[in-house]
């Protein structure tokens, strides 16, 4: 499927796990009888001929200050604008509108990682108050105005959605940076989005340790300054109210303790929700792509919120009496859509868990689920693999009962799927494998849980109203249901699709549309199929299997990392001449990075492997930490000088056959690397 330059790369799709096609597993009749989506005609009602009118159903899930006029405005194609001409506010939809009927319903149960610390339950009324107070602080103390970007670098605590919703209330654009990301990553994102306010926390628990987080804020400010950005305010929440637990002192004039400001000035403040146009931006979320620099995916207000609310209701099957635990981090798109915006828009009770799933042991999630009466569960295949490895028999010890369970972010192996379904779901829960991306805002490919069977290892057919097509390299349609692989695309947009890349329309077009666009001037959505960047195949029954990324992105434990980002970190190490990063298969994390480096002439290699590993961890964060760093005499290259990552990936994955090496300028390099790697001599790793 790859041609030309692409053949030089080792894409995830090339090394995808090809398990055999599995048979169906049917949901229990009791599930189908109560499902929110029981109406089969929805697929006809939302056929391509009726696009985009059927999305009016999605917008109906929201409360509007003034009604929208157009469902889809294509005048800025392919930066689609949804539900234009009216106004609404996301925080109002997530909070205010529930106060009348459900003010005392729990919005979030916060579960601290230390098991002896009590769960804190926050009602909708309390969350609303806290969001109002923090919005007043942002506006009146930090000077945040509608349209400003606010960077939030926080751990998994209730204060994180408080900060997000406070921005939404003011019409400010939040940019949440995953708490585990480095100061460098945070600074780069602040500079790119020109954000002058940083919201952070002093410390948090992870893996049994109290981690000093505020120290990262100081580093972030310094690194941003090097790039010409002055961070004016660092707003510091405290993990334990009234007890500051960071070794980093507060910088006068710049840093402030949020709780102190709230107590003295804002605790009782109210802020009217800003009327926003449907197409106004709600947030930025940075994600990795083919080039070194992460890009800011821009999501809008009405389309995004309608999409996550609709999918939360009809696919996650949420009901007001559910307790829903999405065990992801809010710092990723999954947490934005399926911890914060989707569930809160529906007024559901959620769970925010601070720490690692296996702390202090692999029974923890099931204890939490039992204690809180969790009825709907959502997690990643990586977490499932970890929990199975560390505690295969733990779920049966607890009396939890899930009605429906979802997975996200990576393909799930049929074997792992069966443990999830049988042990965790006790054979009763429906399992839904959800395919989507940061750019898609919400789910696009999954089975409708009450209407059709599950199929382990396949994500499912497309959601109602979503119209995928698989294209080959030349843009020809791979016949539907043929089981042949190609590039997964969407024929038509949907309300949750990213509106663009912050400040870079050209890059948005180049990344997702240029390859298959029929006319760059066109304002007709038919000319702009969206290219997801994943390989996929569709079986005769319409179910899709996702084969992995076709670009330079590695999916590590469900997290997207750009190989170029890792390579540029490695190249900063003294003595490193060249670096190539490949994805190696891993039984728990799906994929992990391995780094191959060659040295400058005359340079002594001792200590280089460790330095590379440290550099990658420091520049990006612990999730990017390479499994191995191999210091090799030379990297295999084509005659035109391109590093052949495909060959390195084959070696890292223990393959006998590394493919054709005849076009290499230095075929002898391959044997040397193979001897090193497969001979088991860990290159300082």
Which positions touch ligand WTA (CB under 6 A)? 287, 333-334, 408-411, 433-438, 459, 532-534, 546, 548-549, 555, 560
Closer to ligand WTA by Cβ: residue 89 or 193: 193
**Minimum distance from CB of 381 to ligand WTA (Å)?**
8
Q: How far is the CB of 380 from ligand WTA (least distance, A)?
A: 9
CA distance 177 to 604: 37
Kind plus residue range of the DSSP H or E element containing 417:
helix 414-419
Closest by CA position to 400, among listed 359, 358, 428: 428
Residue 116 CA: distances (Å) to CA of 111, 113, 204, 208, 579: 10, 9, 15, 12, 46
> Rounded to an integer, what distance in angstroms lies between the CA atom of residue 637 and that of residue 141?
56
CB of 553 to ligand WTA, least distance (A): 7
Pick between residue 86 and residue 409 the one whose CB is nearest to ligand WTA.
Answer: 409
Residue from 192, 197, 218 nearest 285 by CA: 192
Q: Which is nearer to ligand WTA, 238 or 337 (CB)?
A: 337
CB of 546 to ligand WTA, least distance (A): 4
Least Å distance, CB 459 to ligand WTA, is: 5
Nearer to ligand WTA, 459 or 676 (CB): 459
For the chain, the straight-line distance linking the first and the last C-alpha, in angstroms and rounded, comes to 34
Query: For residues 314 and 332, which CB has a smaller minimum distance to ligand WTA in the complex?
Result: 332
Q: Give the Cα separation of 637 and 644 in Å (integer).
A: 6
Rounded to the nearest whole angstrom, what is the least distance from the CB of residue 535 to ligand WTA in the complex?
Answer: 9
Q: Is the separation of the CB atoms in 385 and 362 below 8 Å?
A: no
Shortest Cβ 561–ligand WTA spacing (Å): 10
CB 396 within 8 A of CB 347: no
Min. distance of Cβ 170 from ligand WTA in angstroms? 27
CB of 193 to ligand WTA, least distance (A): 18
H or E stretch including 532?
Answer: strand 530-538
Q: Where are the beta strands (DSSP E) in 600-682?
A: 628-631
Nearer to ligand WTA, 333 or 509 (CB): 333
Residue with Cβ nearer ligand WTA (135 or 581): 581
Smallest separation, CB 17 to ligand WTA (Å): 10
* Alpha-carbon distances of 463 from 413, 519, 590, rounded to whole Å: 22, 28, 26
The distance of Cα 298 from the centroid of its chain, to the nearest Å, equals: 14
CB of 498 to ligand WTA, least distance (A): 10
Residue 198's φ and ψ, nearest 5 degrees, are: -120, 125
What is the torsion angle, in degrees rounded to the nearest 10, for the CA atoms of residue 166, residue 168, residue 173 and residue 175? 60
> Which has the closest alpha carbon to 613: 652, 581, 591, 583?
581
Pick the closer one to ligand WTA by CB: 382 or 438.
Answer: 438
Could you give the CA distance from residue 177 to residue 455 in angstroms, rounded to a whole number?
34
Residue whose pair of structure tokens reads 């057919």 in the numeric block = 461
CB of 438 to ligand WTA, least distance (A): 3
Nearer to ligand WTA, 382 or 555 (CB): 555
Burial readout 456-492 (b: 16 or more C-beta within 10 A, e: otherwise): bbbbbbbbbbbbbbbbeeeeeebeeeeeebbbbbbbb
Judged by CB, which is closer to ligand WTA: 246, or 438? Answer: 438
Q: Which two tokens stand for residue 473?
A: 């390299």
441: closest CA among 499, 397, 392, 484?
499
For residue 668, the minimal CB distance to ligand WTA (Å) is 35
Backbone angles phi, psi at 257, to 5 degrees: -85, 120
DSSP character for 539? -
Q: Give the residue with the Cβ less far from ligand WTA, 170 or 333.
A: 333
Environment class of residue 418 by beta-carbon count within 10 Å: exposed (0-12), middle (13-18) or buried (19+)? middle
Nearer to ligand WTA, 12 or 73 (CB): 12
Cα separations in angstroms, 297 against 98, 216, 285, 320, 460: 29, 24, 5, 31, 26
Is residue 399 exposed (0-12), middle (13-18) or buried (19+ Cβ within 10 Å)? exposed
Nearest Cα to 644, choosing from 660, 628, 630?
660
- Nearest residue (CB) to ligand WTA, 287 versus 379: 287
Q: How far is the CB of 251 from ligand WTA (least distance, A)?
A: 34
The residue among 355 and 533 lying less far from ligand WTA, judged by its C-beta, is 533
């Amino acid at each position: 499927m790859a041609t030309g330059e692409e053949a030089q790369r080792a894409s995830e799709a090339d090394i995808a796990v090809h398990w055999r096609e599995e048979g169906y597993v049917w949901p229990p009749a009791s599930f189908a009888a109560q499902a929110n989506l029981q109406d089969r005609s929805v697929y006809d009602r939302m056929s391509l001929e009726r696009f985009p009118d059927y999305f009016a159903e999605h917008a109906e899930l929201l409360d509007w200050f003034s009604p929208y006029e157009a469902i889809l405005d294509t005048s800025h194609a392919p930066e689609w604008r949804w539900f234009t001409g009216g106004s609404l506010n996301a925080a109002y939809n997530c909070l205010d509108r529930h106060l009348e009927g459900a003010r005392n319903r729990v919005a979030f149960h916060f579960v601290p990682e230390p098991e002896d610390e009590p769960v804190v339950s926050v009602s909708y009324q309390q969350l609303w108050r806290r969001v109002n107070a923090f919005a007043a602080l942002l506006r009146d103390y930090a000077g945040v105005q509608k349209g400003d970007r606010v960077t939030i670098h926080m751990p998994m605590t209730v204060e994180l959605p408080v900060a997000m919703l406070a921005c939404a209330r003011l019409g400010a654009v939040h940019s949440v940076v995953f708490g585990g990301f480095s100061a460098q990553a945070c600074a780069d994102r602040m500079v790119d989005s020109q954000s002058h306010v940083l919201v952070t926390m002093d410390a948090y628990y992870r893996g049994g340790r109290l981690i000093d987080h505020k120290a990262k804020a100081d580093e972030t400010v310094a690194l941003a300054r090097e790039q010409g950005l002055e961070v004016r305010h660092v707003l510091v929440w405290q993990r334990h109210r009234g007890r500051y637990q960071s070794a980093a002192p507060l910088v006068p004039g710049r840093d402030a303790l949020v709780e102190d400001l709230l107590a003295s000035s804002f605790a009782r403040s109210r802020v009217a929700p800003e009327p926003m146009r449907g197409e106004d931006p709600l947030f930025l979320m940075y994600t990795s792509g083919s080039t070194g620099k992460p890009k800011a995916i821009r999501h809008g207000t009405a389309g995004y919120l309608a999409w996550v609310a609709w999918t939360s209701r009809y696919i996650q099957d949420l009901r007001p009496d559910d307790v829903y635990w999405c065990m992801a981090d809010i710092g990723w798109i999954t947490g934005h859509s399926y911890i914060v915006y989707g569930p809160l828009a529906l007024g559901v009770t959620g769970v925010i868990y601070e720490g690692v799933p296996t702390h202090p042991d692999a029974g923890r999630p099931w204890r939490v689920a039992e204690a809180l009466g969790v009825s709907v569960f959502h997690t990643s295949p990586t977490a499932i693999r970890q929990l199975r490895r560390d505690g295969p028999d733990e779920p049966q010890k607890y009396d939890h009962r899930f009605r429906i369970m979802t997975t996200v972010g990576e393909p799930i192996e049929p074997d792992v799927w069966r443990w999830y379904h049988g042990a965790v779901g006790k054979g009763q829960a429906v399992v839904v494998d959800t395919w989507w991306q940061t750019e898609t805002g919400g789910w696009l490919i999954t089975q409708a849980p009450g209407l059709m069977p599950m199929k382990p290892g396949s994500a499912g057919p497309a959601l109602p109203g979503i119209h995928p097509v698989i294209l080959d390299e030349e843009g020809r349609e791979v016949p539907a249901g043929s089981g042949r692989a190609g590039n997964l695309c969407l024929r038509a947009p949907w309300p949750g699709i990213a509106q663009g890349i912050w400040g870079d329309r050209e890059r948005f077009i180049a990344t997702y549309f240029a390859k298959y666009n029929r006319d760059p001037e066109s304002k007709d959505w038919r000319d702009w199929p969206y290219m997801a960047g994943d390989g996929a195949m569709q079986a005769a029954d319409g179910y899709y299997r996702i084969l992995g990324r076709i670009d330079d992105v590695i999916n590590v434990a469900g997290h997207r990392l750009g190989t170029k980002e890792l390579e540029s970190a490695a190249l900063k190490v003294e003595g490193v001449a060249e670096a190539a990063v490949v994805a190696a298969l891993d039984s728990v994390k799906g994929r992990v990075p391995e780094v191959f480096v060659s040295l400058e002439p005359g340079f002594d290699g001792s200590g280089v492997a460790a330095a590379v590993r440290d550099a990658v961890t420091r520049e990006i964060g612990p999730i990017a930490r390479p499994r191995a760093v191999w210091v090799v005499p030379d990297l295999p290259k084509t005659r035109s000088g391109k590093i052949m990552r495909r060959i390195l990936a084959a070696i890292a994955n223990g393959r006998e056959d590394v493919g054709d090496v005849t076009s290499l300028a230095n075929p002898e390099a391959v044997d040397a690397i193979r001897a090193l790697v497969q001979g088991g001599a860990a290159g300082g790793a």
